[in-house]
Amino acid sequence: CSLQSECKVPFIHVGNQVVSELGPIIQFTKAKGHSLSDVLDDVQRAEMKAYMELMNNMLLTAELYIQWCDETTAAEITRPRYSSPYPWPLKHILAYQKQWEVRRKMSAVGWAEKTLEQVYEDVAQCCQALSQRLGTQMYFFNRQPTELDALVFGHLFTILTTQLTSNELSDKVKTYSNLLTFVHRIEQTYFEDQGGGLSS
Amino acid sequence: MGTVHARSLDPLPMQGPDLGVHADDVEVIDVEPETKQEVLENKDVVVQRVHIDGLGRTKEDLLGYEIADVFTAKNLIDVMKKSHDAREKLLHLGIFRKVEVVIDTSEGEDALPNGLDVTFEVTELRRLTGSYNTMVGNNEGSMVLGLKLPNILGRAEKLTFQFSYGTKETSYGLSFFKPKPGHFDRNVSVNLYKVTGQFPWSSLRETDRGISTEFNFPIWKTNHTLKWEGVWRELGCLARTASFAVREESGHSLKSSLSHAMVIDTRNSAILPKKGILLKINQELAGYTGGDVSFLKEDFEIQLNRRLFWDSVLSASLWGGMLLPIGDKPTCIADRFYLGGPTSVRGFSMYSIGPQSEGDYLGGEAFWASGAHLYTPLPFRPGRGGFGDLFRMHFFLNAGNLCRLDYGEGPRSHLQKLAECIRWSYGAGIVLRLGNIARLELNYCVPMGVQSGDRICDGVQFGAGIRFL
């Protein structure tokens, strides 16, 4: 994100305020009187939080691992993509700096020793948990979308639409047909006028 | 015999009792014709040899240029003068701690009767000198470690390293300097640095990491600098409340620029000059040698000083500049000009004139500023000839303007913009000279022509600066 070095996506710009990342944005809209999880009871809300943590701890870390720690993906896709806005030699400096940062984070959370297969296994487990929770419902909690739906959609949609060196990651998601339908439904309901997107 | 001689010199002694004393004095003079000194004073001499004693790592060929003039001296006075000049030149190289000159008659087999030997006794600077400072300012404390290796390769080259570790930022600079032997003013330097600047008037933080190479050379009465600089700039916001216009500028950019500067300076002092002129012209072309920042930047500075009655000095200055982006990208906030503050257009807050967004000043692409000052000594001149000479009173009139350029409109409307809504101010104050590098000012200012969005400092304003209008 070019807006500020500490600032991360997603962000919203309201008046003269910039709020970045999902958590603060949820807090911000809640403070303004809008919340998607108001209809939930305490147990459901706790459950929602747990699943969101699962997303952040497992899926997000796995995505980072595959992008930056798998050398083939990093060299062919991630580094060129990350460095595309910058001129030589800054592009190389910034890309390697970012890679080093991510790898340091991986060793901090104990993922540095994992192999790619183990990471794919973690993704599969995560998807299975989500798939079981979703079942045949429209959204994770009955008929109303919540913050969890937004987060899951964001991650799965990105995984499904991003071309990597191998399709293994998106194939893991595609094995769960109810998750696929879920992503399609949200895309059609909320983003269909945007064009492009997921082609089955 | 001595007394006889004395009488002949002084046949009518004024005071009887002193006569004997006089006689003794004259006796000493009387011996002189026997020494060579009197002979040499008026006649031609030849400088046969010049020695330099005390050289360690300094290469002798470097010093040949500095002392060559001594050989051309034709009489003793000339020898002394040229030796003195050579001593000054040697000290100017910055490689000797001490230089002493000894002039003696030549000795040895080939010694001419009117031959002289000049010996420079030099003490070289140490191989490594260091300094350690602590600095406090801008809500930040830092310690500065400096290392200097003078004369590192034996031909007046210099390597300096400065490292500053602060509570908020660290910065460093490494610089290598090499003069051309015999022409100290022609030199090359290479710098490697990281500096961090905080600009609260723009809520902006800038970290620069860069490398630069520069050539300095004089042409006639002017000094020129040619420079290439490649700098990786990282812009960020100082606070979360920074305006969106400043946030949009955040991120990384790479500037590679060629610049040329020309300076003519005939002033007698840089800080409180009494006479002389200063003309500075800067031009910078970025983007043709790489990087993602492209612009052409021109700016100039003129200062004229004239001494009036009673030690007062009238000083007039004019600044101006323009920044033209090349290509489609707009100019970057870090490249634009800023105006206002206690050493430019007084009566306005630091860099707080012109385009702004939610209180963050964005700078302009064209500006001009001018000032007229009358400097006088302090009333009743306390501390005259000493401490009081560091102070001056001044009365000033400053004016200036700054604007962004909308490139569709053409040059006429740009000039019109700069001529409209002129910010100006007048006032009086006291100036304190700090060495020959900086000055402090305490002024009472009355800002006029204030436009909406400008931040003013009506009344007493304090400031320090090395560059001033």
At B63 the pLDDT is: 87
- Say if A200 falls within a structural domain: no
Q: Are A147 and A57 part of one and the same domain?
A: yes
Mean pLDDT, residues B418-447 taken together: 89
Higher pLDDT, A2 or B434: B434
Higher pLDDT, B285 or B16: B285
Q: Could B252 and A13 be called an inter-chain contact, meaning their C-beta atoms sit closer than 8 Å?
A: no
Q: Are A3 and A46 part of one and the same domain?
A: no
Q: Which two tokens stand for residue A10?
A: 């997603």
Contact (CB, 8 A) for B212 and B244: no
pLDDT tens, residue by residue, B373-390: 999 988 888 877 778 888
- Say if A197 falls within a structural domain: no
Q: Which residues of chain B neighbour A88 with C-beta distances below 8 Å?
A: 290
Q: Are A56 and A112 part of one and the same domain?
A: yes
Say if residue B223 is exposed, middle or buried (CB neighbours under 10 Å; 0-12, 13-18, 19+): middle
Q: Are A84 and A114 part of one and the same domain?
A: yes
pLDDT tens, residue by residue, A26-50: 888 888 888 888 888 889 989 999 9
Tell me: cis bond preceding B11? Omega within 30 of 0 counts. Answer: no
Q: Are A170 and A133 part of one and the same domain?
A: yes
- Say if A62 falls within a structural domain: yes
Q: What is the mean pLDDT of chain B?
A: 84
Secondary structure tally for chain A: helices H, strands E? 10, 2
At B48 the pLDDT is: 86
Q: Are A119 and A176 part of one and the same domain?
A: yes
- Interface size between A and B, measured as CB pairs under 8 A: 40
Chain A residues bordering chain B (beta-carbon distance below 8 Å): 2-7, 13, 16, 18, 86-90, 93-94
Q: Which residues of chain A neighbour B194 with C-beta distances below 8 Å?
A: none
Q: Which residues of chain B neighbour A94 with C-beta distances below 8 Å?
A: 252
Q: Which residues of chain A neighbour B290 with C-beta distances below 8 Å?
A: 87-88
Least reliable range by pLDDT among A77-86, A144-153, B130-139 = B130-139
- Say if A151 falls within a structural domain: yes
pLDDT tens, residue by residue, A100-114: 999 999 999 999 899
Alpha carbon of A71: minimum distance to chain B alpha carbons (Å): 25
In the structure, what pLDDT confidence band is assigned to residue B354 with cuts at 50, 70 and 90?
A: confident
Contact (CB, 8 A) for A119 and A65: yes
Report the residue of B204, B209, B233, B254 to disrupt the A interface, i.e. the one with the largest count of A CBs within 10 Å. B254
Q: Which residues of chain B neighbour A90 with C-beta distances below 8 Å?
A: 232, 252, 254
Q: Could A87 and B358 be called an inter-chain contact, meaning their C-beta atoms sit closer than 8 Å?
A: no
Q: Are A61 and A125 part of one and the same domain?
A: yes
pTM beyond 0.90: the answer is no
Share of residues in chain B with pLDDT > 70 (%):
89
Which residues of chain B form CATH 2.40.160.50?
182-465
Tell whether B240 is within 8 A of chain A (Cβ). Answer: yes
Contact (CB, 8 A) for B61 and B95: no
Domains: count for chain A = 2
B152 — phi, psi (to 5°)? -65, -35
Enter the ipTM: 0.78
Q: Could B292 and A5 be called an inter-chain contact, meaning their C-beta atoms sit closer than 8 Å?
A: no
pLDDT tens, residue by residue, A132-145: 999 888 898 878 88
pLDDT at A83 over 50: yes
Q: Which residues of chain A neighbour B242 with C-beta distances below 8 Å?
A: 4
Alpha carbon of A101: minimum distance to chain B alpha carbons (Å): 17
Domain that holds residue A71: 39-191
Count of C-beta atoms within a 10 Å radius of residue B194: 18
pLDDT at A52 over 50: yes
Q: Are A59 and A6 part of one and the same domain?
A: no
- Which residues fall within 8 angstroms of residue B239, CB to CB, at 6 or more apart? B203
In the structure, what pLDDT confidence band is assigned to residue B39 with cuts at 50, 70 and 90?
A: low
Does domain B3-124 fall into CATH 3.10.20.310?
yes
Which residues are bridge partners to B465 per DSSP? B439
Q: Which of A2, A18, A86 sits opposite B244 (nearest CB)?
A: A18
Alpha carbon of B243: minimum distance to chain A alpha carbons (Å): 6
Q: Could B244 and A90 be called an inter-chain contact, meaning their C-beta atoms sit closer than 8 Å?
A: no
Mean pLDDT, residues B211-224 taken together: 94
Q: Which residues of chain A neighbour B250 with C-beta distances below 8 Å?
A: 2-5
Which residues of chain B form CATH 3.10.20.310?
3-124
In the structure, what pLDDT confidence band is assigned to residue B245 with cuts at 50, 70 and 90?
A: confident
In the structure, what pLDDT confidence band is assigned to residue B408 with cuts at 50, 70 and 90?
A: low
Q: Are A125 and A176 part of one and the same domain?
A: yes
Contact (CB, 8 A) for B367 and B410: no
Does domain B182-465 fall into CATH 2.40.160.50?
yes
